[in-house]
Amino acid sequence: MLEEIREQPAALERTLHSGLRRADAFRRIIARRRPRLIVLVARGTSDNAALFGRYLLEITTGIPVSLAAPSISTLYQARLDYRDALVVAISQSGESTDTNHILEKARTQGALTLGITNEPSSSLAALAEHVFLVRAGKEKSIAATKTYTGQILLLYLLAYSLSGAVRAKELERLPGLVDSALRLEPEIRELSERYRFMHHAVVVGRGMNYANAFEFALKLMETCYVVAERFSSADFLHGPIALVEPSFPVFAFAPPGVTWGSIGTTLEKLQSLRAEVVAITDRGNRDAVRRATRVIELPRRTKELLTPIPYIVPAQLFTACLAEQKGLNPDRPRTLSKVTLTL
């Protein structure tokens, strides 16, 4: 897992280099057949990438986005009208049974289909009309890391294809931002020692980093066996904050930008409850430093739209180091396999 986390700058470089050509070609197709609706379908970590995609695509393109519920089709056999829709299936392996089922059905029902996968010879790549490939190389750890950030990068390229407010030149900064985040590994390893006996936690994010809250919590659950709940900072204040007591661990994605008001208010409330708050933020965000117990500061300031990829890296490093502290193998979590088949 750690090795694959460290491979991300190079994997992102490869993905961006090849993906831009595909994105430009897809842009020409979209110009002739612009969708009125986008449907994203995925499971597990890929579903967290899809959650990010919903925010990104709606914010930058103005096209409504839905996250598919596969059981509507696989169990209830409902027939959906996908005319004028773009259906995007996201899968690391390309072999997720229900994801592929939805994509295949959507294509027969009139949708324009796109697959995002790390496996060019997968079933997903064969089913989709168009394919964006993550160029991460083989991912051996069950805990997905480099394929998650690769999927997010390709969702940026999808927004670019749809003439959204995403500039290819800005995406070229991402590998360097991730490289800077990786330099925090010694600091994060030392921090993880404090949480060796942690069994419960909450992860909070909002907007562009809401999906990262889900992904961080998933990694804590599957690699460290920590019961981790994840919330939007807005939803958290509507009830779940009641579970917080002194020293309760809360992890927060806290970038400067439009979501800071909500996140900052949440951190202030948690501070009054004497919770143990770890904030992931940009260097120089003094408000976050004042309101959190501990802070992981990324070395370089980042435009909020671009924060999700560099911000998830400290969370990945933390979970890998925490698993080591707990004497667990994050590459082989109990009862899990790399490809999960569900309907």
What DSSP string runs through 73-136? HHTT------TTEEEEEEESSS--HHHHHHHHHHHHTT-EEEEEES-TTSHHHHHSSEEEE---
Of the residues 124, 148, 172, the one at which a domain ends: 172
CATH classification at residue 276: 3.40.50.10490
206 is a domain residue = yes
- Output the pLDDT for position 332: 85
Task: Show the domain range for 101.
Answer: 2-172
Residue at 343 is within a domain: no
**Do 34 and 130 share a structural domain?**
yes
For 115, phi then psi, to 5°, come to -110, 140
Looking at the fold, whether 17 and 113 belong to one and the same domain comes out as yes
Please give the pLDDT value at position 28. Answer: 95
Q: What is the mean pLDDT of each run of 10 residues along the chain (343 residues)?
A: 98 98 96 95 96 98 96 89 95 93 92 97 96 96 95 98 96 97 97 97 97 98 96 91 95 95 94 96 89 94 95 98 95 68 59
% residues pLDDT > 90 (the chain): 87
Specify whether 149 is located in the same domain as 234.
no
Contacts of 281 (CB under 8 A, 6+ apart): 254, 255, 256, 288, 289, 295, 296, 297, 298
In a domain, 263, yes or no: yes
Residue-averaged pLDDT of the chain: 94
| Residues 53, 131 within the same domain | yes
Domain match, 29 and 164 both: yes
97 and 186 together in one domain: no
Alpha-carbon gap, residue 277 to 280, rounded angstroms: 10
Return the closest-CA partner of residue 48 out of 216, 201, 226.
216
Written as one letter, the residue type at 319 is T
Task: Tally the domains of the chain.
Answer: 2
* 190 and 118 share one domain: no
Whether residue 96 is contained in a domain is answered as: yes
Same domain, 194 and 266: yes
Same domain, yes or no, for 149 and 260?
A: no
Give the pLDDT of residue 300: 84
Share of the chain above pLDDT 70, in %: 97
